[in-house]
Every structure is written in C-alpha cells, then in structure tokens.
Amino acid sequence: MALSEAQQQEIDALRQETAPTRRAVVPALEEILYQPFPLLDHGFLRVIDYMGDDTAIVQAARISYGKGTKKINQDQGLINYLMRHRHTTPFEMCEIKFHAKMPIFVARDWIRHRTANVNEYSGRYSILGKEFYIPAHDQVCGQSTTNRQGRSTPLNDQERNRVLEILEADARQVYGHYEEMLNADEEGNLIDPNRSGLARELARMNLTLNYYTEWYWKIDLHNFLHFLSLRADSHAQYEIQVYAHKMLEILKLWLPYTYEAFMRYKFNGMHLSEQAIDVVKKVIRGEKVTQESSGMSAREWREFLEQLNLEEQAIAA
C-alpha cells in the first residue's frame, strides 16, 4: 500500500481528534474513519466522511420533526418495506465519502457510475508514483469460453510466469521512459540540467493501465447500493469486486438494517422475466419444461438455470 510516513502521521493525527456534535454518528464507522484498508497489491480504501445512519432513512420516510423512530423492529420493518418496494428517495438522505487508490483500468470501470462526485489525483499537476498492479498468481487466468467478459481457470506455471514477467518489465520500462521524458525522477528531482523535460500532462500518456491512481469519491446511499449491486456481483471484474466487497463490509458497519435489507431483497434477491416466472410455476406444478418450450434464448435459459441452481435434466425429465 506504501503510505509515506508523513501520510500515515496525518491519518494518525486525524484519528486522534474528536468533536462533540448533535448530528447522528455511527460508533462502528467512527472506529474505522480515515483508516486505510489495503486492497490488491498497492491499493486501499478508506472512509473519509459520512452523513446519516439507519434512523435518517426512517426519519425521512416518516417526514419526522424529531427523531421519527419507533421500536427497533418497526424501523427495521420500514427499511425492509422501502427496499422491497423500491421506495428509493429516503435512501438518498445518507451519504458516504471514500478515498480510494486503484489501478487506472479499475478506475475506468468505476467512473462509469455517473451519480457520484469525484476528484482524482492530477497527473497534470503531480508526478504519478511508480506503483503498478501485478495480479496474484490465482488471478492470472485464461479467457472464459462461456463469458466473453470474464476469465476462467489459472494459467499453468510456465505461461503465468511469462505473463507476469511481461507485465512487470513493460510497466518498469514505461516508467523509466516517463522519468526520462519528464527529465525528473519520481520525487521530482531533476535528471539532466541541460534538458527542459516534457510537460507532466503529456508524459503520463505512455503509462500502462495498471498504474495506480487515487480519488475522493462521494455518493448518496441509493446510488451507492446500485454501484454495489453491479460491482460486488460475481460478473464484475475481480479487481473492482475487491473494492466493492470491502465497501459491503463498511456498509454493514454503517447501516446494519439497510445492509440486511439490501442483501435480502437486492443483492441476493433475483429479478425474473415473465418467461422465467412461467417456468417456475410449471416446475412447481410438476410439468416438464425445456429451453425450447420456455420461450427463452439458449443464453437466457443457461443463466436462469444457474440463478436457481437447477439441473436441466431434473425439470425436463
């Protein structure tokens, strides 16, 4: 993760400070505030700030003048109801702000979520650090044959080692060229006093996508849950899933009722098409169903069986 001593001291100093407030605080989140959680080989995620707790959702839903909360089971029931019925605006009353460090190719997927506020480290203003992502051995996999966007099983030792060698050598080479073009090293020290060096905003374009970038990222809870449903999902790229899964852990600390409702009704819940519901009804009635009679495409059928963990023979026989 490679935080400098000065960065670590700043974090430690901030973590020593407390302030009295009338605002809702969540002790479990206060406990981890500012603390960086290492992810991948050089990345991290840390919570910088947040607004609201589970009761803020309940207060907004009840348009309360005061606390607006009732018995715990009633509040939890209301959050479940709101989640189940897609009554989303009360969830927009909470917000969270992260500081994340991730490879550029992960940031490219992440930035597609337009409903967040982002401020990224400037490679025009500062020299980018010599930190690049090299996947762990078990992540160096072949192309999936069933999912064009996915990976399959790990490569054999020989092929994997060659891949890692290429990734490492290329990343080092482009950084060497980056320093040469800048005429400065990573710390900004001048290399050759007789050269002016290329502008940072141009020199950076030669770096590979596995170089790390950083940003502050703020999002309201409704859109945060949408992000998690897409990026903590097993179909998302592993490297962004790693960040999304850490965020799920943080969500659980921050808003335990919302986390439960989200996992129950959204994340582990399922959306079924008209045809899929029809198939489920037929299977319950003990009728035979095949892909051809289901009205689903071969791919849809395969996904449906996977979703419900069904054996084709069991329902067609």
Determine contact, residues 41/54, Cβ cutoff 8 Å. Answer: no
- Stretch in the footprint of ligand FAD (CB under 6 A) among 41-49, 109-117, 130-138, 302-310: 109-117
226: contact with ligand FAD by CB under 6 A? yes
100: contact with ligand FAD by CB under 6 A? no
Structural tokens at position 253:
């600390």
Told to judge if 46 belongs to the known catalytic residues of this protein, a careful annotator would answer: no
Please say which residue, 40 or 236, places its beta carbon nearer to ligand FAD.
236
221 to each of 26, 46, 85, 116, how far by Cα in Å? 15, 17, 16, 10
Query: Which parts of 124-163 interact with ligand FAD (CB under 6 A)?
Result: 149
φ, ψ for residue 275, nearest 5 deg: -65, -40
Please, what is the minimum distance in Å from the beta carbon of residue 240 to ligand FAD?
8
Please, what is the minimum distance in Å from the beta carbon of residue 113 to ligand FAD?
4
Query: Which parts of 205-224 interact with ligand FAD (CB under 6 A)?
Result: 223
- Stretch in the footprint of ligand FAD (CB under 6 A) among 3-11, 177-185, 229-237, 287-295: 229-237
Please, what is the minimum distance in Å from the beta carbon of residue 257 to ligand FAD?
23
Nearest residue to 247 (alpha-carbon basis) of 44, 76, 14:
44
Residue 158: helix, strand or coil by DSSP?
A: helix
Q: Half-sphere exposure (CA, 13 Å, Cβ side) for 174?
A: 19
Nearest residue to 49 (alpha-carbon basis) of 101, 10, 97:
97
Among 84, 124, 195, 235, binds ligand FAD (CB under 6 A): 235
Please say which residue, 44 or 227, places its beta carbon nearer to ligand FAD.
227
Determine contact, residues 92/220, Cβ cutoff 8 Å. Answer: yes
Nearest residue to 313 (alpha-carbon basis) of 293, 298, 294, 291:
291
Q: Burial-class residue 279 by CB neighbours within 10 Å (0-12, 13-18, 19+).
A: buried
40: contact with ligand FAD by CB under 6 A? no
Please, what is the minimum distance in Å from the beta carbon of residue 290 to ligand FAD?
28
Instruction: Report how far residue 69's alpha carbon sits from residue 64's, in angstroms, rounded to the nearest whole number.
Output: 8
Please, what is the minimum distance in Å from the beta carbon of residue 164 to ligand FAD?
25
Among 15, 62, 97, 113, binds ligand FAD (CB under 6 A): 113
Please say which residue, 113 or 266, places its beta carbon nearer to ligand FAD.
113
Please say which residue, 71 or 148, places its beta carbon nearer to ligand FAD.
148
Binding site for ligand FAD (CB under 6 A): 112-115, 149, 223, 226, 230, 235-236
